[in-house]
Structure 1
Amino acid sequence: MSRRLAVAAILALSLSLALGLGLGGCDGGSRPAPAPATPGKAVTGIEAHLKATPSRVLAAVRKRGVLVCGVNPGLPGFAYPDLRGVWRGFDIDICRAVAAAVLGDATKVRFVPIGGQDRFGALRRGEIDILSRNTSWSFSRDVGLGLDFAATTYFDGQGFLAPKALGLASAEELSGARICVQAGASSQGNLADFFRARGLAYKPVVVATEAEARRLYENDGCDVFTADISALAGSRSVLNNPGAHVILPEVISKEPLGPVVRQNDGAWADIVRWTVYATILGEELGLTSKTVTRARETATDPQTRRLLGVDGDYGAMLGLSRDWAFQVIRQVGAYDEVFRRDVGADSPLKLDRGLNALWNAPKPGLLYAPPLR
């Protein structure tokens, strides 16, 4: 190598070292080196950089020490006080799951019975933290009311309950019928659409509550009762002779039901959404309230370990404890447990999973949760 080339190489090396030292000192040396991942705690790129967005509702719930949940005053299978005054049902368990996630205790819920026509007003006024009241997700409600539907917990559709003695095979035989329907519910508009599209006449018997519609129907105040099929199954289960009534085969609408929150607190919507997803993921991973404690100690599957807080601290991104999802499943159950207990095989309603089966079930449904990663 010539002397000129040797000098050039030395100068280039010096310049490179100087630039490296200068860039390294731009932040005054305050940036710490990334901490190595410790065994049992998988740190992902996202987890390493994202922090929880503060939630006003979460802060209020924790300060109060109880979750305030708006529910149906009485719908068998979904929300009803038992003979001892204890609230039970599918929508009740969604509230309990959120309480388990945010407070660590599924019993710390105050249930507020709310009529159908005032449910959104009560939520907007801040009288409740969450509305879990067999409420359908629709465009006008989502966009026009300043509210957010956190997730779909039950895929439903509107149908018709009729006396078996009428011998009806189809809702299209209902021309001229008196039909009980609840005021202010999406069922009222769906009913009008169904008959208008077919050029059929009918007489709406509009009542304030589902309970009133049920009483009128049973006492011949109307010929047929229309509502979501899950609500009709619940109503039928408490009639004097449930076997004397049938749900007609037509499903005349899409009714995705789920919890509702105010639109001005996205972090709270995330908490409610991922609480629902935790129950679904729990079922996907084969977890139950009885097995989840053991699974947290023995699981080797990365998805299970993340969900239960063994690997990573995903709860921190929601402002929750590391074991938030573990508490949901341990205290309330995975989705299949909740469904079976409240509206499925172990309940008076005996509803099939149908659309509410997992996406990868032998008979696939629509139930699907995004991955926790």
Structure 2
Amino acid sequence: MRALRKFLPALLLPAALLSQSLPAEAQAPGVIPSSDIVGAIRARGMLNCGVADGTAGFSVPDSQGVWRGWSVDLCRAVASVVLGDASKVRIVPTTTQQRFTALQSGEIDLLFRSTTWTLSREASLGLLFAGIDMYDGTGFMVKTSTGITSARGLDGATVCVSPGSTTELNVADYFRTSNMRFTPVLIADIEALRSAFISGRCDAYTTDVSSLAAFRASQGAAAAQYRLLPEVISKEPLGPVIRKGDFRYFDMVRWTLFAMLTAEELGITSQNIDTFATSTNPEIQRFLGRAGDLGQMLGTDNGWAARIIRQVGNYSEVWERNITPIGWDRGPNRLWNQGGLQYPPPMR
């Protein structure tokens, strides 16, 4: 009995305190101490969001210096949930090489930068992917003048590629399994990489198909000089990335995406949302925050989903505003009931 009393205080300790009392080697590998990212964002009054530096359709400053694009709009959508105002976003341009460091160090709260969800990134970097905002894949672009119409014609080619990216690994695997040779031209700066391709330093330019389409669209009248080859050689599920440790924040980011997709399913847009106020559809009433406490469950107010749509738009609106102009077909990013892969869980 005396021995039981000796150990009883430890048994009554909360799990979090008990784990802190264990030596480091006895704690489960990969456990990240909890943190209040939401609280830090709200105390600051601003969401720091990392995006690519100057990619047409995704993240590029307009003539007034205001950042526009797919990634920017999704950053704004998250801000509308966490802070109640989509304008409370500080856009931070990041490179392929330093994007994860910026997130790990706390320089940014969220990474929305065409980043592929992989096991190694989620398991070893202390990061979490909160969903898939876009289904993409690695592709190749050549100059039309080369006469190359298939990736099979790239045997012996020089290929411009960003170092440290999933693309670099995908291309090496593709050429090896296809019994073809290539010479990589590794350039970290995206503008320098594209300039090398334009100047003829490499025969082909490779990255995600969405980024290739964005590059071609940015060339204006010269776009016809570039051909996007038909092969897509990898799966690239792109998603928002956060630091591990605050699952309330994880839920907010994940369900921001799902809310935008659900609104499209329900036919709710930024232009017609007010016409749904009298709807008797229970799902719509929950979405608008007129029934249930979904927002309270997330740690925000019940009008969170409606606010996303009013301030930013649904998934289709954001796509048409940013991606359609660069000439990339929505394809697998259509809703599940329209032949695509986007399938939001029920909001109930």
Q: TM-score, normalised by structure 2?
A: 0.88
1:365 is matched with 340
Distance 1:205 1:153 in 2: 29
1:57 is matched with 37
Letter in 2 for 1:216: A
Letter in 1 for 2:100: F
1:69–1:111 Cα contact (<8 Å) kept: yes
Kindly provide the CA deviation profile for residues 284-309 of structure 1, in whole angstroms up to 9, marking residues without a partner as x: 000000111231x2221111111110
After TM superposition, give the deviation of residue 185 of structure 1 in Å: 0.9
Distance 2:280 2:191 in 1: 49
- Selected match of 1:192 from 153, 167, 172: 172
Letter in 2 for 1:251: V
After TM superposition, give the deviation of residue 79 of structure 1 in Å: 0.8
* 1:99-248 equivalence runs, <5 A: 99-239=79-219, 241-248=222-229
Distance 1:293 1:215 in 2: 47
2:236 is matched with 255
After TM superposition, give the deviation of residue 55 of structure 1 in Å: 6.8
2:267 is matched with 286
Letter in 2 for 1:280: L
Counterpart of 2:65 in 1: which secondary structure? coil
1:300 and 2:280 matched: yes
2:64 is matched with 84
Distance 1:300 1:246 in 2: 50
Distance 2:285 2:147 in 1: 54
- Let me know the Cα RMSD of the aligned residues: 1.1
1:13 is matched with none
2:329 is matched with 352
Q: Which runs of 4+ in 1 moved over 3 A?
A: none
Counterpart of 1:68 in 2: which secondary structure? strand
Kindly provide the CA deviation profile for residues 302-338 of structure 1, in whole angstroms up to 9, marking residues without a partner as x: 1111111011111001110110001001110000000
Letter in 2 for 1:354: G
Runs of 5+ unmatched residues, structure 2: 1-33
Letter in 2 for 1:274: W
Distance 1:66 1:313 in 2: 25
Distance 1:331 1:195 in 2: 45
After TM superposition, give the deviation of residue 210 of structure 1 in Å: 2.4
2:35–2:245 Cα contact (<8 Å) kept: no
1:320 and 2:300 matched: yes
How many percent of aligned residue pairs carry the same amino acid? 47
1:55–1:268 Cα contact (<8 Å) kept: no
Kindly provide the CA deviation profile for residues 138-188 of structure 1, in whole angstroms up to 9, marking residues without a partner as x: 111111111100010000000001111212121011011110000111100
1:21 is matched with none
Letter in 1 for 2:257: V
Q: How many residue pairs get matched?
A: 314
Letter in 1 for 2:94: I
Distance 2:327 2:155 in 1: 30
1:24 is matched with none
Distance 1:113 1:247 in 2: 26
- Selected match of 1:275 from 236, 256, 263: 256
Letter in 1 for 2:182: Y
Counterpart of 2:313 in 1: which secondary structure? coil
Runs of 5+ unmatched residues, structure 1: 1-53
Counterpart of 2:231 in 1: which secondary structure? coil
Distance 1:122 1:293 in 2: 39
Letter in 1 for 2:102: A
- Selected match of 1:94 from 74, 79, 95: 74
Kindly provide the CA deviation profile for residues 188-221 of structure 1, in whole angstroms up to 9, marking residues without a partner as x: 0001000011111111000003222111111111
Q: TM-score, normalised by structure 1?
A: 0.83
Letter in 2 for 1:74: G
Counterpart of 1:112 in 2: which secondary structure? strand
2:36–2:245 Cα contact (<8 Å) kept: no
Counterpart of 1:298 in 2: which secondary structure? coil
Kindly provide the CA deviation profile for residues 3-53 of structure 1, in whole angstroms up to 9, marking residues without a partner as x: xxxxxxxxxxxxxxxxxxxxxxxxxxxxxxxxxxxxxxxxxxxxxxxxxxx
2:217–2:327 Cα contact (<8 Å) kept: no
1:183–1:209 Cα contact (<8 Å) kept: no
* 1:333-348 equivalence runs, <5 A: 333-344=313-324, 347=325
